[in-house]
Structure formats: structure tokens, C-alpha cells
């Protein structure tokens, strides 16, 4: 097995892979990674065990962030409340994490930051020397149901009345 680096903005395999992966989110998208690159000059990179001449089977997305304050580090991914590790094989994920950890000295990374929702990463974190944090926020909104039901479930004071006021001011869908 080998660890490969992929440029997710230039390599069309990334968009195809994330478009069909059940745990991929907007934070994995080429659009989000491009915005981070153009806005903050962060370098997106994906680490995978899939060779360049094959379809992607897995991937761990990061941005290389170099700041005078926090120095050089890998963040998966900046300004996102979560970023799932797109791996179905724990063996391949273990290999990839150990490969990244062995590159710390070479790349002069201060730390590696991941934000998976899936708690199965805890095992990898403990064996890999990660320090978990106890504080995080994950924002989830259930949008199942019809429009009227969703509206009735919104807060009456902060949302429903303001929507009514906007409609009375003719600020609705036009």
C-alpha cells in the first residue's frame, strides 16, 4: 500500500468520488476547496491510497495552512463544522494516518486537525497519538416533511413572525 497526494481542484476524480460518496458533504466539494484557496490562500490536498491511474476509493481532505500565528499545519477542513474521513476500510485509514504522522518532521507541520462526526475515528486517534477535544458544535437541521410542517416547527417569535412581516412588505418569492 502507498499514500498518494491528490489536488482535489485539478483532479476530476475527486469531484466524481465525492459526488457519489454517502458521507461526503459540501465541505468536500471542489467549490468549497476553491473558495478556501482563493480567499485564504490555503492549499487543498487529499491523501488517498488510490494510485493516480485508478478511480478514487477513499480520501482524506485537508488544507495546508501556514500562518505566522499558528505555523504550518493540516486542517480538515478550515471553516467547516465537520469533515468526514471518506474511508470504508479501517486498514487503509490506519495506514494513511500513520503515513501522515511519519511526514510531520519532513513537512514541518505543527499539528494535524480532523473533525469527523463518525466516532470510529476515536480508535485511530488513540493509537495515533491524537489529542481529542471535548468541545465542538455540530449543527444539524432536519428538513424532512412538507413546507408547511417545517414552517410550523420554526420558532414563532424569531422566525414565523419575521417571515409574515416580510410577506406583508412584499419581500416574498419574486
DSSP 69-84: TTEEEEEE-TT-S---
Rg (CA), the chain: 20
Q: Are 72 and 102 in contact (CB under 8 A)?
A: no
One CATH from 3.30.70.580, 3.40.50.410, 3.40.50.300, 3.40.630.30 for 4-139 = 3.40.630.30
Q: How much is the pLDDT for 103? A: 78
Q: Where are the domains of the chain?
A: 4-139, 141-174
* Selected residue with higher pLDDT from 72 and 129: 72
Q: Per-residue pLDDT for 67 more than 60?
A: yes
Q: Per-residue pLDDT for 129 more than 90?
A: no
Rounded Cα distance, 107 and 65, in Å = 12
Q: Per-residue pLDDT for 172 more than 70?
A: no
Q: Are 71 and 65 in contact (CB under 8 A)?
A: no
Q: Per-residue pLDDT for 174 more than 60?
A: no
Burial class (CB in 10 A: 0-12, 13-18, 19+), 64: middle
Helix boundaries (H) for the chain: 12-20, 30-40, 90-102, 104-107, 121-128, 147-152, 161-168
Nearest to 84 by CA among 142, 17, 10, 134: 17
The mean of the pLDDT values for the chain is 85
Task: Kindly state the cell numbers that stand for 107.
Answer: 513537512
Q: Per-residue pLDDT for 143 more than 90?
A: no
Q: Per-residue pLDDT for 4 more than 90?
A: yes
Confidence tier at 116 by pLDDT (50, 70, 90): confident
Amino acid at each position: 500500500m502507498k499514500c498518494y497526494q491528490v489536488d482535489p481542484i485539478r483532479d476530476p476524480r475527486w469531484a466524481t468520488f465525492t459526488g457519489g460518496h454517502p458521507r461526503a458533504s459540501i465541505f468536500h466539494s471542489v467549490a468549497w476547496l476553491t473558495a478556501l484557496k482563493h480567499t485564504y490562500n490555503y492549499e487543498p490536498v487529499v491523501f488517498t491510497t488510490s494510485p493516480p491511474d485508478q478511480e478514487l476509493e477513499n480520501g482524506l481532505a485537508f488544507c495546508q495552512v501556514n500562518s505566522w500565528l499558528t505555523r504550518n499545519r493540516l486542517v480538515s477542513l478550515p471553516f467547516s463544522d465537520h469533515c468526514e474521513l471518506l474511508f470504508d476500510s479501517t486498514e487503509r485509514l490506519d495506514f494513511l494516518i500513520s503515513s501522515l504522522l511519519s511526514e510531520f518532521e519532513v513537512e514541518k507541520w505543527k499539528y494535524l486537525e480532523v473533525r469527523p462526526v463518525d466516532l470510529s475515528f476515536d480508535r485511530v486517534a488513540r493509537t495515533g497519538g491524537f489529542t481529542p477535544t471535548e468541545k465542538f458544535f455540530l449543527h444539524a437541521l432536519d428538513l424532512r416533511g412538507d413546507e408547511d410542517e417545517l414552517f410550523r416547527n420554526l420558532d414563532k417569535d424569531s422566525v414565523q413572525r419575521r417571515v409574515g412581516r416580510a410577506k406583508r412588505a412584499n419581500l416574498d418569492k419574486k
